[in-house]
Amino acid sequence: MPPQQPQVLAEKLEAVARDAKEAARLGEAGRRKVETQFSSERSAEMLAQMLQRAAM
């Protein structure tokens, strides 16, 4: 989304609200992203990396 252009965001949200299939597709894509990027395993990995860097 272009910064400082709320009208563009509003138009995109309206388009998704009118298209149930697209809304479902975006929802599933978002869920997959959260599950892979914010899983407990991934969080543990990231914490271990931060601790290793801090110990250097």
Q: Which domain holds residue 29?
A: 6-55
Other CB atoms within a 10 A radius of the CB of residue 23 amount to 13
Mean pLDDT of the chain: 93
Q: What percent of the chain has pLDDT over 70?
A: 100
Q: Say which DSSP state 5 is in.
A: -
The number of residues making up the chain comes to: 56
Domain-located, residue 1? no
Rounded Cα–Cα distance for residues 36 and 4 (Å): 30
In this predicted model, what pLDDT tens digit does every residue of 7-23 receive, in sequence order? 999 999 999 999 999 99
Q: Based on the structure, what is the number of domains in the chain?
A: 1
* One-letter amino acid of 32: R
Is 43 inside a domain boundary? yes
Give all strands (DSSP E) within the chain, no chain letters. Answer: none
Q: ∠20-5-12 over CA atoms, to 5°?
A: 10
Structure confidence at residue 45 (pLDDT): 92
Q: Is residue 18 part of a domain?
A: yes
